[in-house]
Chain A
Amino acid sequence: MAQLTFREAISRGIAQEMRRDETVLAIGEDIGAAGGVFKGTVGLFEEFGPLRVRDTPISEQAILGAAMGAAMTGLKPIAEIMFSDFFAVCWDIVVNQIAKSRYMTNGQVSFPLVIRSGNGGGLRFGAQHSQSVENWAMMVPGLKVVVPSNALDVVGLMAAAVRDPDPVIFLEAKCLYSSKMEVPDGDIVDSLGRAKVLRSGGDATLVALGAMVPKALKAAEELAGVGIDCTVIDVRSLVPLDTVTILREVTATGRLFTVEENPRLCGWGGELSSIVSEEIFYDLDGPVVRITTPHIPLPAADALEDMAIPSVERIVATVSTSMNA
Chain B
Amino acid sequence: MTTTTSHTGLDLEAKLELYRVQVALRQFETRAYDLFLENYVKGTSHLSLGQEAIAAGFAAAMRPDDYTFATYRGHAHTLARGVPMTPVLAELMGRTNGLMAGKGGSMHLTSVEHGVLGSYAVIGAHLPIACGAAWSAQYRGTEQVAVCFFGDGSTNIGAFHEALNLAAIWKLPVVFVCENNLWMEYTRTTEITAVPNPAADRASAYGLESIIVDGNDVDAVYEVATTAMARARAGGGPSMIEALTYRHGGHSRADPGKYRPEAEVAEWLARDPIPMYHARLLAEGATEAQLVEIEHSVAAEVEVATEEAKAGPTPGADLLMKDVWADGGSAWRN
Contacts and interface: CB of A to CB of B under 8 A. Distances in A.
Contacts of A102: 323-326
A93 B101 CA distance: 24
A61 B162 contact: yes
Interface in B117-133: 117-118, 120, 122, 124-133
B266 interface: no
A69 B128 contact: yes
A132 B325 CA distance: 25
Interface in B174-213: none
B128 A141 contact: no
B25 to A, nearest CB: 22
B128 A71 contact: no
Nearest to B148: A69
Contacts of B159: 61-62, 65, 92
A21 to B, nearest CB: 13
B84 to A, nearest CB: 16
Contacts of B165: 57, 59, 62
A51 interface: yes
B128 A66 contact: yes
Given A65-B128, A244-B334, A110 B326 contact: yes
Contacts of A193: 334
Interface string B278-302: 0000000000000000000000000
Chain A interface size, under 10 / 10 to 19 / 20 to 34 / 35 or more: 35 or more
Given A62-B166, A142-B324, A72 B158 contact: no
Interface in A67-97: 67-75, 77, 92-93, 96-97
Interface string A36-77: 000000000000000100101101011011111111111101
Contacts of A299: none
Interface string A163-180: 001100000000000000
B294 to A, nearest CB: 31
A54 B136 CA distance: 13
A296 interface: no
A105 B100 contact: yes
A105 B132 contact: no
A107 B117 contact: no
Nearest to B322: A107
Contacts of B323: 102-103, 106-107
Given A25-B139, A71-B132, A166 B326 contact: yes
A104 interface: yes
Given A59-B162, A69-B129, A105 B136 contact: no
A107 B328 contact: yes
Nearest to A144: B325
A51 B104 CA distance: 35
Given A105-B108, A107-B328, A165-B326, A66 B166 contact: yes
Contacts of B146: 69
Given A73-B136, A106-B103, A101 B118 contact: yes
Nearest to A69: B132
A68 B129 contact: yes
Interface of A is mostly: mixed
B110 interface: yes
Given A105-B110, A109-B118, A70 B132 contact: yes
A105 B118 contact: yes
Contacts of B163: 61-62, 65
Contacts of A67: 132
Interface in A243-281: 243-244, 275
B263 interface: no
B125 to A, nearest CB: 5
B112 A65 contact: no
Contacts of A96: 122, 125
B67 interface: yes
Interface in B17-58: none
B135 A70 contact: yes
B136 A57 contact: no
B140 interface: yes
A104 B132 contact: no
A66 B135 contact: yes
Given A57-B165, A109-B118, A243-B333, 17 more contacts: A57-B162, A61-B158, A66-B129, A69-B130, A70-B132, A75-B136, A97-B120, A97-B129, A101-B110, A101-B118, A104-B104, A105-B108, A105-B110, A105-B112, A141-B330, A239-B332, A240-B331
Interface of A: 25, 51, 54, 56-57, 59, 61-62, 64-75, 77, 92-93, 96-97, 101-110, 112, 141-142, 165-166, 193, 239-244, 275
15 contacts: A57-B162, A59-B162, A61-B125, A62-B128, A65-B127, A68-B132, A69-B129, A70-B133, A73-B67, A97-B126, A101-B110, A104-B104, A108-B111, A141-B324, A166-B326
Interface of B: 67, 99-101, 103-104, 108, 110-112, 117-118, 120, 122, 124-137, 139-140, 146, 158-159, 162-163, 165-166, 169-170, 319, 322-328, 330-334
Ranked nearest first, the 4 interchain pairs of A and B with the lowest CB-CB distance are: A69-B132, A65-B128, A165-B326, A107-B323
